[in-house]
Amino acid sequence: MKTLFDKIWDKHLVEEIDDQTQVISIDRHYIHEVTSPQAFNSLNEKGVAVMRPDLTTATADHNVPTQDQDKAIKNELSRIQLETLKKNCDQHGIELYGLGHENNGIVHVIGPELGLTQPGMIIVCGDSHTSTHGAFGTVAFGIGTSQVAQVLASQSVLTAKPKTLLIQVDGELNQYITSKDLILHIISRLGTGFGAGYFIEFAGSTIANMSMESRMTVCNMSIEMGARGGLIAADAVTYEYLKTKKFSQGVSLQQCEEMKSDGIEAFDKVVKFNAHDVRPTVTFGTNPGMGIGIEDQIVTQDNDTFTKSLEYMGLTDRLKLEGLPIQHVFIGSCTNGRFEDFEAVAAVIKGNKKAAHVRALLVPGSNAVLKQIKSAGLKEVFESAGFEIRQPGCSACLAMNGDSIPAGEYCVSTSNRNFEGRQGAGARTILASPITAAFAAINGKITNPN
Amino acid sequence: MEKVTIIRSSVVPVLLDDIDTDQIIPARFLKATSREGFGENLFRDWRFNDSGESEIKFPLNDKKWSGEILLAGENFGCGSSREHAAWAIKDYGFKAVISSHFADIFKGNALNNGLLPIELSKAFIEDIKEEVLLNPETKLEINLEQQEVILRVSGEREKFVISPYNSGNSDVD
């Protein structure tokens, strides 16, 4: 008996060196400006060529401005980093969807959107949220820069084979509950280290009923449980998504439906959840496992890590998040920066205005998403509600590009990490779904959508 | 890359759990295109306050603590895949990090840079912690050939596992 993960992995196994080290061939390698320059340096110093430029796709996303992308980049280091990416891609014949290109956007948004991510593949990228691509029945995981160099040079990677964990979710999600609430709920129950050493498969009726966008949100955050990645078996929903995309025209329904896990017994570990138990979920602390239902009380723990976290968040005297005044809302990122997310936000805010003291920033995951927003008439909805809509990029998810949250202020964010300083030094991040974030923007405080 | 066999050193304890790579090296310092110089900003926002002054209570700023071994709480290196985290720790001068478990990507990144991620039991880490807090000059010995850590004051020891293939191989060769 084999899991879907094992089947894909074994097909790509080149060599088993020892029980901690295997060589795995790679079908698609995504690269971006932040984790690739030092890898190219390694190649260039040794005079090594990129083995399969045709299987390598580059984008600029982590460090790009989200305004005036047609103008020169003001920050010198950022400009040099983007120029270095272009130079390296030109030198090695790699397709680059740079700033302003119609295919530009966050690497984990554009890969699926272009149909480059396909069932049965092994995909890597120097970014931990590469797990996003697992939504397509793909083994996808983040790697470090030394491994980026390995993949550029050999189209294979040296890594340990993880064990397998099945997370089965059944039942219907309640009204206003999104796949983001589900994954925040799961991580809050299991903790940030539960998945260490494992690759997750998400299955069950709840997952089967989700759109591809929602599935991507779930797989995206697998890494926040410490897992190498998370995947979902491809099916007819996957096929329907891929059949209209640029590079996946050749993918058949049969190809989408043929690869499945053999049964629950094939997994090293199994956890089950009931979708009815999931409520609008937000985080209160400084790691994604510190989540609660909006109406719940924080259960305090007597240890230094927990105390430091609550102090950082300014929540030592307040054990409930509902009603907490907030100053910023950020909607975007590889977790929730797709058209479906902006549609959900628009449905909530239509006819309303953001609270006067709130700054609401919407950053589409790609130029294609921005185009969809415009053609669906949502830009007007956002603007008349007082939301600021930007050009694509990772933006305030990691605040590398200057889109940051001031120290001490609260931001309800649809991104994936609430680490200290993640959205700017001293910034206080509350992770939430796009719907919860939209309600927070209108009311100026954490609000239960129900 | 320099081959490491034995490290004998006192330790610097940063005894928090879930230390993520954003703490180790914040994203705003990832704009460089070379591997050098990241040590300067290791634990930047814990080492320095908003005005850029040293936080004297943070162990890296406290003269009481020195050494080539960083002792941390559990789940060290979680979060982003940025190899800059391993570069920063190495560049600062550490040769090994001890935790009860490491995030997978960080562990790989550390090994690819000759920084040893040493996984020990919580019980042994607790013993090391007690000794070290009692006497900051307490020495540990990490023996890579024997795959063993020895608390030199008591002789207490524990095995760890690092694949010999992974400790010291260059990435592209």
Give a yes or no: residue A450 inside a domain: no
Give the pLDDT score at A318: 80
Last residue of a domain, one of A129, A159, A189: A159
Please indicate, yes or no, whether residues A329 and A368 belong to a single structural domain of this protein. yes
Among all residues of chain A, which has the CA nearest to that of B72? A305
Last residue of a domain, which of A101, A128, A159?
A: A159
A197 plus A287 within the same structural domain: no
Same domain, A219 and A294: no
Mean pLDDT of chain A: 97
Number of domains making up chain A: 3
Q: Are A298 and A421 contained in the same domain?
A: yes
Whether residue A448 is contained in a domain is answered as no
Chain A residues in contact with B30 (beta carbon < 8 A): 34, 62-63, 400
Phi-psi region of A408 (alpha: psi -120 to 50; beta: other; left: phi over 0): left
- The helix/strand/coil state of B121 is coil
* Residue among A37, A43, A77 whose CB faces B172 most closely: A43
Residues B35-48: pLDDT tens digits? 999 999 999 999 99
CB contact under 8 A, B172 and A37: no
Same-domain check for residues A303 and A170: no
Asked whether residue A202 is domain-assigned, the answer is: yes
Does residue A67 share a domain with residue A44? Answer: yes
For the residues B112-140, what does the mean pLDDT come to? 97
**A228 plus A132 within the same structural domain:** no
- What is residue B50's predicted lDDT score, i.e. its pLDDT? 84
Identify the residue whose tokens are 């295997």: A22
Question: Do residues A264 and A406 share a domain?
Answer: no
Residue B126 has phi, psi (to 5 degrees) of -60, -40
pLDDT at B165: 67
* A66 within domain boundaries: yes
Q: Are residues A266 and A155 in the same domain?
A: no
| Domain carrying residue A63 | 4-159
A217 is a domain residue: yes
Tokens of B22: 């954003």
CATH at residue A241: 3.40.1060.10
* Distance of residue B8 Cα from the nearest chain A Cα, in angstroms: 26
A350 in the same domain as A239? no
**Of the candidates A86, A78, A73, A61, the residue with the CA atom closest to the CA atom of residue A364:** A61
* pLDDT band (50, 70, 90) for residue B168: very low
Name the B residues in 131-160 with CB < 8 Å from any A CB. none
Shared-domain flag, residues A15 and A132: yes
B20 with A426: Cβ contact below 8 A: no
Are A143 and A180 part of one and the same domain?
Answer: no
Mean pLDDT across the stretch A152-159?
96
* In chain A, % of residues over pLDDT 90: 97
Chain A residue at shortest CA distance from B22: A422
Integer angstrom CA distances of residue A100 from A74, A75, A317: 16, 18, 47
- What's the CATH code of the domain at A320? 3.30.499.10
Nearest Cβ partner for A77 among B31, B73, B75:
B31
Q: Model confidence over A336-380: pLDDT tens digits?
A: 999 999 999 999 999 999 999 999 999 999 999 999 999 999 999
Q: What mean pLDDT do residues A200-215 have? A: 98
Give the domains, in start order, of chain B with CATH numbers.
Answer: 6-166 (3.20.19.10)
Query: Kind and range of the H or E element at A189?
Result: helix A179-190
Give residue B2's pLDDT: 61
Of A227, A249, A277, which residue is a domain's last? A277
